[in-house]
Structure 1
Amino acid sequence: MSLHCLPRRVPQARVPFAAKQFSTSARTASYAETLPNLKIGVHTRVLFQGFTGKQATANVKESLEWGTKIVGGVKPGVEGEHLGLPVFPSVKAAHNQAKPDASAIYVPGNQTAKAVEEAIEAEIPLVVAVAEHVPIHDILRIHSMLQTQSKTRLVGANCPGIISAIGKCRIGFQPLPCFAPGNVGIVAKSGTLSYETVASTTRAGLGQSLCISMGGDVLAGTNFVDALTVFEDDPDTHGIILVGEIGGTAEMDAADWIQDYRRRTASPKPIVALVGGLEAPPGRIMGHAGAWAAPGEPDAQAKYLALERAGAVMVNHPEKFGERMKTLLSNGASRPGTNSFSGAGSPKRGLHVMRRVTPTSRPAIKQNRSLYVKQFQAFNILRQNSVPVNEATSESDMSLSITVDRTASSPCIIASPAAGFDPSQSRKFPFSYTQVNFDNSSVIAAVASYMGLPASGHDQLTGLVQALWEIFKEKEAFVLETRVGMAADGTLEVHGARFGFDDAAFRSSGRQEEIHRLRNPAEEVPEEVEAEKDGIVYVKLQGEGSVGTLVNGAGLAMNTVDALTFHGGHCANFLDTGGKATSETVKSSFRVICSDPRVKAIFVNIFGGLTRCDMIAEGVILAFRDLDMKVPVVVRLRGTNEELGQKMIAESGLPLHAFDGFEDAAKKVIALAGEK
């Protein structure tokens, strides 16, 4: 079914981009001054923090060979030499002696915020943080620093980084064989989807100018609008690709920007886009730490429609980006509203993704899983903070939440005068992370006015917000949703609550153990708990799903479910092995998928960017034999060593079916599942 047939959803009331960019809810003017720092190239002098670690060492060797100008690295308290480059005892010393333009941060998530803070204090122009599992409250504190200065720009965290294919400058862990110098600018939330996108434009003969990763975390140092602003004035960028997904409002902000850009520009550059998570179940966190919608935020379908209405050309799979952009550039202009949901098959392979290499990987970290506590547990937390609670409902109930405003990069209150957070009735009220109390706060006055509270209720609202804020900050929550109403005596009380807490604060930093002891895995979906033990994110989908999916990367996993559904399939699960699938994770994934009796066929969709396709093929073959599997498996392999991997599958003598193009593979697995 085409998205044109989907019911039109009422969007949240939005401020036009031209006005919004000067709003207090947007990024501050001082931080906006750092946008030019994203223009990396042959001139960029790169420093590494975490320089002597295994991951950084492998990355430095590969990046140096490719042409990146690396000037050394930091190991706290140590001076010396590594890989023939100087080791500095601090970022400040490195800045004074090596004059770096950028710093690549290769430290674990629990150390990332401290490393970023050191780089900000040293006024390094560009900081790229790649690690997953950076605690949300650590990064909130970093953003409160970023927005008070005009020297340092952050890319990430939880992202592949930034790369100039023209300038041979890589700051991150992108798979180099996919890249070729060219004229397409790419900005993406998903790492694996961005690799697919890059490979598609390379196969189409277009290549890339600058590729910026927004990353999959709740808060991004550089967002879609930032990247689009850079691409607009970049003479090397002739066409722009945007890859979004569920969670936040960055795609909606981008749609506003695109609409304004097309209105004020005589010959706008063509923009092609994709949004992952169209089929994501509401309320679930889909692999990425930021792949969830806060109260009142749009879903993926609303984002798709907003981008389409703004004039972006939409595709349903990243392998279509190259040929679609090639057509638009040859025609000289984009055509608003055009979509590629019924486009032609995938382009031919190119030599750029065929080289047999051993790509360096990102730091290996378990997948994110945030914790939602039960309502009675949320009520207990509220009572401990002297908040009146009453498990009741009323037609006059209102909604109040404290969460993260991803556009303002700060905490915010989301208020609605009605029960539930309908986007058309919800409004955000951002405030500073350094806020201590809300007495006589203009934010409280604005919230009270919007919710229609009488003057007598303002003090009660202040007390409720103050208590929620203290819980949010002290317990490291990412969202506190409440349904509030007036008691018979006029007291403001909480009638319903849904509280979510940051997994990373516990897993990577060992904080909030008391909160995370509230989790009871025995009450959760068994397959999801089992998968988690191996670092796999598995979400069991409801309905008649007969196709099991196994994918490397959260964004690609979401898009795989979307695209299979578009082709008429019914998926039983979402499964992200993580960015670096191994033979062991493949085997564990098969075991979990096959435990679902609904599954009649399995679709393995792997893009071998950081992972070689031949290694995945070997893992699939071994797992199939070891588990004595009876379910047919379709394996789509793209990327590094794809031809070798496909050959191994084809010659295995097992009921395995190898493909490189997505559409042919999708049709095959759907047929094997008995759906067509």
Structure 2
Amino acid sequence: MLSQQARYWHKHLSRRRHHGPRIHRTLFSTSPRHNGYDDTIPNLRIGSHTRVIFQGFTGKQATANAKESIAWGTNVVGGVKPNGSGEHLGLPVLPSVRAAVEQLKPDATGIYVAAHQATAAIEEAIEAEVPLIIAVAEHIPLHDMMRIHSMLQSQSKSRLVGANAPGIISAIGRCRIGFQPLPTFSPGHIGIVAKSGTLSYETVGSLTRAGLGQSLCIAVGGDVIAGTNFVDALKVFEHDEDTEAIIIVGELGGTTEEEAADWIADYRKRLKNPKPIAAVIGGFQAPPGKVMGHAGAWVGLGEGTAESKYKALESAGVTMVDHPAKFGGVMKEILAKSGRSVRKIELSAAQAQQRRSYHISRSLPRPLPTTTSSTSFQQRRSLHLTADQSANLLKAYNINITTPPEGSPSTHYLGISPHRSARSPSIIAAPTANPSHLPQRVRRFPFDYRQGPSRDAITAATAHLQLDTAPPRSKAQVIQLIHNLWTLYHEKEAIDLHIRLALSVETDEILTYDPYLFFDDAAFTSTKRHRDLHALRSSGSLTTTTTDLEAQQAGIVYIPLRCTPLFAGTTAKKPTQTAPSSQVQSEPRKLLIGTLVNGAGLALNTIDVLHTRLAPGTSAANFLDTGGKATAATIQTSFSLILSDERVGVVFVNIFGGLTLCDMIAEGIVLAFREMGVRKPVVVRLRGTNEEVGQRVLRESGLPVFVYDGFEEAVGKCGELVCGR
């Protein structure tokens, strides 16, 4: 809950945000009764009053983005270049964030630097007490972000959105801090909070076409630990007078959707006429144990699946859809049911659009994505070791792995894992290692990243393990084991370290076995840390196929899927499994749809919808995320990967361009036809940046390509083609 003072100024700000004076950040000071970081939630309320600076201001990406944002109406007041000075784009350049705060009095900063520089840039903004910090870079190492969150939790001035987030944008207030495709947005009265950038663009496009527009859109990002979560955004929307209804765009990974459902259930009890809320969830068809493009798009032990998130939100009274293109019509329906005047909202949105001289341009230049070099990042972001490699590494940290013991009276589960809600590492523990009981019995005990496991966390974890009454020798071994695991976790920048324990009947010793070690690639790809550990890739740590290597080198996430049909909704069955290349080839041949999508969230939703729309026995052949900025070369490589699967009968290209340019996608498709001799029918759906140019390129190419701008029409055509009609 916000303090009384924060609520007062939050309400005051919502009334005056468009043309009123800027509200100074010290008005949202910490109350000792509340978590200090929670009191920074009102800083998310951006608008025309918001004074914005750019870190990395003179760089190529920041320059292109600043030009576009300024032209749209964002109040950019200058920027920072380390040890620099002078002017850029007619605005002042300062040598440090502190100097910029003193001279320019910013409300927000957009950080447009590469991943290996982003951590220091975020820290500098926190130390300078900038109220709102937007971090857009991908591949910032997880441990860097956990240290950042340890800093954030101990202060009450700065709020972070990101990392790996498209940013935040007020369509009403004409303030954009991020890289969202501006032609898609229109001022209106629907608030949006989303993990996925591309799915949020789909949502925005649907609302714009329906004439409802958007008020405030908060893209929290796809990292393992986000600086702002769904509940934070919902608290803002609840008190925002411009927001008449709310949309949540979620996906597998973490528990923020379930926490949002709990908050919504309470909200609907507190208010007589709560704002209507709708949602979409992606990831029903995601194979277990895979990172699905986003760093955080994987289901940790004890975390909810896409199905459980769907059910939790639906049970809280949220209207669920299976694809964001439906939001325009659905929002009109639930607004009307709530007693709100849809016509009045449409007129208000139209007047706001006219008042602000809103024009749609379909050929705005796009800034380049953040990279550290010309080499594409590997989006896999994980390294799994073999059993022997795991045992050798653990032994170096005084953890000796044995074979699974026989005859032990009980087994236990222990490890170190991210606690996404607490934004910190945690001890993960369960009094059982039985796979069928483990998800229900596991608990996480968070602790501060900079301090390491606290005595309280260790005591609570030991009690939950039911080892608090174990013999003194065994209990001391468990405590030392936790410290050893943390040392390894911290020094080698792991994501998950899990082991099973058993208490020896004969010696009272703790036996450790069956390790699971999962490391973050970003520490190596972004900062070149832990070369020795990540060199294990080339010595057999992973079963890497030719297609795996081809995808990684192109910055593509490509995962073949088994063709077990599932239903994306409350009746979803058990998730599909990943199919190795050899297994894919040995399955009975079926006509499946190869998918080529930009953005992990949109790719997840695409394969979900194909499962619900197509005839029984037909499904998506793969998950393929081209990454944040697909190029013509990326598209050609994607076609090569998809067509290497003999099950594919139709290729479905589903693009919603933000950073990705639709005309470049079209050129890549033409190139693939010419270079590879594509013989399968191709259905292309292009929306977003330069969509009209891209569609024209394909229609004038003379190629057998079916081009659509509507998602449902494109899916229908895929169904016709795959069934031979």
TM-score normalized with structure 2 length: 0.85
Counterparts of 1:72-91 in structure 2, within 5 Å, are: 72-91=78-97
> Is 1:527 matched with 2:547?
yes
Query: What amino acid does structure 2 have at the position aligned with 1:402?
Result: I
> Is 1:98 matched with 2:104?
yes
CA-to-partner distance for each residue in 1:548-589, whole Å, 9 max, x for gaps? 110011111111111111113411111111122111111110
Query: What amino acid does structure 1 have at the position aligned with 2:385?
Result: V
1:179–1:352 Cα contact (<8 Å) kept: no
Find the counterpart in structure 1 of residue 612 from structure 2: 566
Find the counterpart in structure 2 of residue 14 from structure 1: none
For 1:437 and 1:258, the matched residues in 2 are separated by: 33
Per the TM alignment, residue 214 of structure 1 is displaced from its structure 2 partner at its CA by: 0.7
Find the counterpart in structure 2 of residue 261 from structure 1: 267
Find the counterpart in structure 2 of residue 466 from structure 1: 483
**Aligned with 1:56: secondary structure?**
helix
**Aligned with 1:294: secondary structure?**
coil
2:167–2:179 Cα contact (<8 Å) kept: yes
For 1:363 and 1:195, the matched residues in 2 are separated by: 20
**Aligned with 1:455: secondary structure?**
coil
2:131–2:159 Cα contact (<8 Å) kept: yes
> Is 1:434 matched with 2:441?
no
1:48–1:73 Cα contact (<8 Å) kept: yes
Per the TM alignment, residue 333 of structure 1 is displaced from its structure 2 partner at its CA by: 5.9
Match of 1:402 among 416, 419, 424: 416
For 1:249 and 1:28, the matched residues in 2 are separated by: 22
2:162–2:226 Cα contact (<8 Å) kept: yes
Per the TM alignment, residue 413 of structure 1 is displaced from its structure 2 partner at its CA by: 1.3
CA-to-partner distance for each residue in 1:395-438, whole Å, 9 max, x for gaps? 72221121110100000112111113733211111111123465
1:354–1:643 Cα contact (<8 Å) kept: no
Per the TM alignment, residue 675 of structure 1 is displaced from its structure 2 partner at its CA by: 7.8
1:34–1:153 Cα contact (<8 Å) kept: yes
> Is 1:424 matched with 2:440?
yes
Match of 1:493 among 505, 508, 511: 511
> Is 1:541 matched with 2:564?
no
Counterparts of 1:236-315 in structure 2, within 5 Å, are: 236-315=242-321
**Aligned with 1:149: secondary structure?**
coil
Worse overlay, 613-622 or 167-176? 613-622
Cα separation, partners in 2 of 1:427 and 1:318, compared to 1, 3 Å? same
Q: What is the root-mean-square deviation of aligned Cα atoms in Å? A: 1.9
Worse overlay, 570-579 or 606-615? 606-615
For 1:393 and 1:583, the matched residues in 2 are separated by: 55
> Is 1:503 matched with 2:521?
yes
2:60–2:367 Cα contact (<8 Å) kept: no
For 2:658 and 2:57, the matched residues in 1 are separated by: 23
2:53–2:108 Cα contact (<8 Å) kept: yes
Per the TM alignment, residue 56 of structure 1 is displaced from its structure 2 partner at its CA by: 0.2
Find the counterpart in structure 2 of residue 343 from structure 1: none
Match of 1:660 among 693, 709, 713: 709
Cα separation, partners in 2 of 1:210 and 1:401, compared to 1, 3 Å? same
Counterparts of 1:637-652 in structure 2, within 5 Å, are: 637-652=686-701
Per the TM alignment, residue 358 of structure 1 is displaced from its structure 2 partner at its CA by: 2.5
For 1:63 and 1:427, the matched residues in 2 are separated by: 44
2:653–2:682 Cα contact (<8 Å) kept: yes
Per the TM alignment, residue 73 of structure 1 is displaced from its structure 2 partner at its CA by: 0.6
Find the counterpart in structure 2 of residue 20 from structure 1: none
For 1:367 and 1:172, the matched residues in 2 are separated by: 23
Per the TM alignment, residue 444 of structure 1 is displaced from its structure 2 partner at its CA by: 1.9
2:110–2:178 Cα contact (<8 Å) kept: yes
Find the counterpart in structure 1 of residue 463 from structure 2: 449
Match of 2:493 among 451, 462, 476: 476
1:269–1:333 Cα contact (<8 Å) kept: no
**Aligned with 1:429: secondary structure?**
strand
2:60–2:368 Cα contact (<8 Å) kept: no
Find the counterpart in structure 1 of residue 531 from structure 2: 513
For 1:361 and 1:330, the matched residues in 2 are separated by: 42
**Aligned with 1:479: secondary structure?**
strand
> Is 1:191 matched with 2:201?
no
Find the counterpart in structure 1 of residue 12 from structure 2: none
Match of 2:364 among 341, 357, 360: 357
**Aligned with 2:314: secondary structure?**
helix
CA-to-partner distance for each residue in 1:495-550, whole Å, 9 max, x for gaps? 21111111110000010111111114772233122111111111121246721110
2:61–2:370 Cα contact (<8 Å) kept: yes
**Aligned with 1:542: secondary structure?**
coil
For 2:364 and 2:55, the matched residues in 1 are separated by: 25
Per the TM alignment, residue 459 of structure 1 is displaced from its structure 2 partner at its CA by: 1.1
Per the TM alignment, residue 362 of structure 1 is displaced from its structure 2 partner at its CA by: 3.2
For 1:530 and 1:654, the matched residues in 2 are separated by: 26
Cα separation, partners in 2 of 1:333 and 1:604, compared to 1, 3 Å? farther
Query: What amino acid does structure 1 have at the position aligned with 2:440?
Result: S
> Is 1:171 matched with 2:177?
yes
2:181–2:688 Cα contact (<8 Å) kept: no
1:444–1:458 Cα contact (<8 Å) kept: no
1:268–1:333 Cα contact (<8 Å) kept: no
> Is 1:366 matched with 2:386?
no
Unaligned runs of 5+ residues in structure 2 are 1-32, 341-357, 564-589
Cα separation, partners in 2 of 1:273 and 1:634, compared to 1, 3 Å? same
Worse overlay, 514-523 or 106-115? 514-523
Query: What amino acid does structure 2 have at the position aligned with 1:434?
Result: R
Find the counterpart in structure 2 of residue 392 from structure 1: 404
Find the counterpart in structure 2 of residue 234 from structure 1: 240
2:162–2:227 Cα contact (<8 Å) kept: yes
Cα separation, partners in 2 of 1:361 and 1:273, compared to 1, 3 Å? farther
Cα separation, partners in 2 of 1:267 and 1:636, compared to 1, 3 Å? same
For 1:470 and 1:630, the matched residues in 2 are separated by: 54
Match of 1:601 among 650, 654, 665: 650
2:494–2:520 Cα contact (<8 Å) kept: yes
**Aligned with 2:188: secondary structure?**
strand
For 1:122 and 1:238, the matched residues in 2 are separated by: 35
For 2:671 and 2:636, the matched residues in 1 are separated by: 8
Per the TM alignment, residue 460 of structure 1 is displaced from its structure 2 partner at its CA by: 1.5
Unaligned runs of 5+ residues in structure 1 are 1-26, 335-350
For 2:724 and 2:449, the matched residues in 1 are separated by: 51
Find the counterpart in structure 2 of residue 10 from structure 1: none
**Aligned with 2:428: secondary structure?**
strand
Counterparts of 1:599-638 in structure 2, within 5 Å, are: 599-638=648-687
Worse overlay, 504-513 or 533-542? 533-542
Cα separation, partners in 2 of 1:310 and 1:494, compared to 1, 3 Å? same
For 1:263 and 1:437, the matched residues in 2 are separated by: 38
Find the counterpart in structure 2 of residue 376 from structure 1: 388
Query: What amino acid does structure 1 have at the position aligned with 2:402?
Result: N
Cα separation, partners in 2 of 1:434 and 1:333, compared to 1, 3 Å? farther
Query: What amino acid does structure 2 have at the position aligned with 1:372?
Result: H
Query: What amino acid does structure 2 have at the position aligned with 1:390?
Result: T
CA-to-partner distance for each residue in 1:326-368, whole Å, 9 max, x for gaps? 211122269xxxxxxxxxxxxxxxx976633323343246242
1:374–1:498 Cα contact (<8 Å) kept: no
1:192–1:579 Cα contact (<8 Å) kept: no
Find the counterpart in structure 2 of residue 212 from structure 1: 218
For 1:674 and 1:240, the matched residues in 2 are separated by: 38
Find the counterpart in structure 2 of residue 11 from structure 1: none
For 1:55 and 1:152, the matched residues in 2 are separated by: 24
**Aligned with 2:623: secondary structure?**
strand
Find the counterpart in structure 2 of residue 149 from structure 1: 155
Per the TM alignment, residue 184 of structure 1 is displaced from its structure 2 partner at its CA by: 0.4
**Aligned with 1:307: secondary structure?**
helix
TM-score normalized with structure 1 length: 0.91
Q: Which runs of 4+ in 1 moved over 4 A?
A: 351-354
Match of 1:63 among 63, 69, 74: 69
For 2:513 and 2:404, the matched residues in 1 are separated by: 5
